[in-house]
Amino acid sequence: MSAENKVILVTGGSGLIGKAIEEVVKQEKQAYENETWIFISSKDADLCNKEQTQKLFEKHKPTHVIHLAAMVGGLFHNMAHNLDFLRNNLAINDNILHTSFEFGVKKVVSCLSTCIFPDKTTYPIDETMVHNGPPHPSNFGYSYAKRMIDVSNKAYHEQHGCMFTSVIPCNVFGPHDNYNLQSSHVIPALIRKMSDAIERGDETYTVFGSGKPLRQFIYSMDLAKLFLWVLREYHSVEPIVLSVDEVDEVSIAEAAEVIKKSINFKGDLSYDTSKPDGQYKKTASNKKLRSHLPNFQFTKFEDAMKESVQWYIDNKDSARK
Ligand code: NAP
Ligand code: GDP
């Protein structure tokens, strides 16, 4: 194998973002023949366990790692399990980063999130503000574990010269999402529940919360393309926000209307304001991304939603529930 060849291990390869990266890599296969891609799930190794993590690295000998694996969930799952989010994610991240160091991995790209920024802040938030104050109380376990990835990346760089970096995606949606109603994010939850409402012939669908919170949603296929660019072209330890533009931020109510149209639910939407809203907004600036890729075209929200809804309808029985 020549020095140029890369063995890229993708942790969390069975998840929403991992599956999108697998699909994009498949589409561009001819162009990057020097890359061998390995997508793994928790069935290959429990990454909370150091020995299993080491065995995985011994088996595949990766030169590069895209680290996606994490305990992940929507607002309600986070609120109920802050300790588990903290402990599992601290363990997974420490195992991946330290094993990558031990095996001389050339580059690791890990995943933060716009959810982990300070709750009380100015907008738009950017890469320099990750540690500037406590996160929203609903997801502090997840947030502090994620923030420690950035701290670790800088420490590995300072002490050992490692190129371990991270990206900060906004809310993600697409095929292969998690449709489990206890743990899902808002878009897969609404797709599944409106589909069930259609099957039952319901005349109303009740969205949790006021519908007023604002979110930037990125299509998993767009995010996958940006991940590949970061792996190949972005050579800095400093994190980079991977988000749609600020003007593309939508309210939960607007997102619900787009889902309603895509899935063809004919009933009315109502809002249960006794349920929590979570963070009101977390508007992120993609100025740094745009300075590198000024012409990157994001898929229109409505088009991406149609594809995501169609995927769910086609895969209802096998989808993660
Ligand atoms: P996901 O669909 O829930 O997938 C999670 C992945 O992690 C699965 O492949 C799962 O494997 C794996 N995993 C979980 N625990 C593991 C363990 N102990 N050992 C090994 N593998 C384990 O997640 P996602 O939405 O693709 O998220 C990927 C990354 O992006 C995460 O780091 C997340 O924090 C970040 N992110 C997500 C969003 C979003 O809106 N979804 C936004 C910003 C950032 P199994 O399939 O075997 O369970
Ligand atoms: P967040 O962006 O990290 O807060 O996570 P979510 O993807 O869980 O989005 C939460 C927002 O969507 C909150 O404002 C919720 O009130 C609202 N929401 C409305 N219905 C649902 C639902 O069925 N599930 C979830 N997870 N959120 C919902």
What CATH number does the domain containing 162 carry?
3.40.50.720
What would the two tokens of residue 139 be?
């997801």
pTM: 0.97
| Ligand 2 atom closest to the CA of 77, numbered from 1 | 26
pLDDT above 50: residue 1: no
Which residue's CA is the nearest one to ligand 1's atom 42? 171
Domain contains 28 = yes
**Domain boundaries, position 96:** 6-174+216-248+284-299
Per-residue model confidence (pLDDT) at position 38: 97
4-7: Cβ within 8 A, 24+ apart: 4/34, 5/34, 5/35, 5/36, 5/63, 6/34, 6/35, 6/36, 6/63, 6/64, 7/36, 7/38, 7/60, 7/61, 7/62, 7/63, 7/64
Q: Which ligand is nearest to the CA of 277?
A: 2
Q: CB of 147 within 8 A of CB of 130? A: yes
In this prediction, residue 32 has a pLDDT band, given cuts at 50, 70 and 90, of confident
Side chain identity at residue 215, one-letter code: R
Q: CB of 190 within 8 A of CB of 258? A: no
Residues 234-247, mean pLDDT to the nearest whole number: 98
Q: CB of 179 within 8 A of CB of 191? A: yes
Strand order in the sheet with 64-67: 35-39, 6-11, 64-67, 107-111, 163-169, 240-242
Task: Give the mutation target among 79, 179, 185, 282 for probing the ligand 2 site: most ligand atoms within 8 A of CB.
Answer: 185
| Ligand 1 atom closest to the CA of 67, numbered from 1 | 32
Domain count, the chain: 1
Domain contains 200 = no
Q: Does ligand 1 have an atom closer than 6 angstroms to the CB of 185? A: yes
CA 320 – CA 308 distance, rounded (Å): 14
User: How many A from CA of 142 to the centre of ligand 1?
Assistant: 12
Q: CB of 151 within 8 A of CB of 199? A: no
CA distances from 38 to 12, 35, 100, 162, 292 (A): 11, 10, 15, 22, 27
Per-residue pLDDT tens for 80-108?
Answer: 999 999 999 999 999 999 999 999 999 99
Domain contains 189 = no
CA 306 – CA 315 distance, rounded (Å): 14
Per-residue model confidence (pLDDT) at position 74: 86
Per-residue pLDDT tens for 146-183?
Answer: 999 999 999 999 999 999 999 999 999 999 999 999 88
In this prediction, residue 119 has a pLDDT band, given cuts at 50, 70 and 90, of very high
Per-residue model confidence (pLDDT) at position 64: 98
Task: Give the mutation target among 113, 116, 181, 186 for probing the ligand 2 site: most ligand atoms within 8 A of CB.
Answer: 186
Q: Which ligand is nearest to the CA of 15?
A: 1
Q: Does ligand 1 have an atom closer than 6 angstroms to the CB of 40? A: no
Per-residue model confidence (pLDDT) at position 298: 98
User: How many A from CA of 202 to the centre of ligand 1?
Assistant: 33
β pairing state of 250-251 and 171-173 = unpaired
Task: Give the mutation target among 48, 72, 321 for probing the ligand 1 site: most ligand atoms within 8 A of CB.
Answer: 72
Domain contains 151 = yes
Buried b / exposed e across 182-209, counting CB within 10 Å, b at 16+? ebbbbbbbbbbbbbebeeeeeeebebbb
Domain contains 304 = no
Q: Does ligand 1 have an atom closer than 6 angstroms to the CB of 111? A: yes
Q: CB of 142 within 8 A of CB of 86? A: yes
pLDDT above 70: residue 72: yes
Known active-site residue 234: no
* DSSP element (H, E) containing 10: strand 6-11
Could you list the beta-strand ranges (E) of 135-254.
Answer: 163-169, 171-173, 204-208, 214-215, 217-219, 240-242, 250-251
Domain contains 320 = no
Domain contains 193 = no
- 25 against 3, higher pLDDT: 25
pLDDT above 80: residue 143: yes
CA distances from 319 to 24, 180, 218, 302 (A): 20, 9, 20, 21
Q: Which ligand is nearest to the CA of 275?
A: 2
Which residue's CA is the nearest one to ligand 1's atom 24? 16
Which residue's CA is the nearest one to ligand 2's atom 25? 186
Residues 124-129, mean pLDDT to the nearest whole number: 97
What would the two tokens of residue 275 be?
């349920």
Side chain identity at residue 28, one-letter code: E
Residues 209-216, mean pLDDT to the nearest whole number: 98
Domain contains 192 = no
Per-residue model confidence (pLDDT) at position 11: 98
Residues 31-53, mean pLDDT to the nearest whole number: 94
Q: Which of 32, 123, 142, 156 is catalytic?
A: 142
| Ligand 1 atom closest to the CA of 46, numbered from 1 | 19
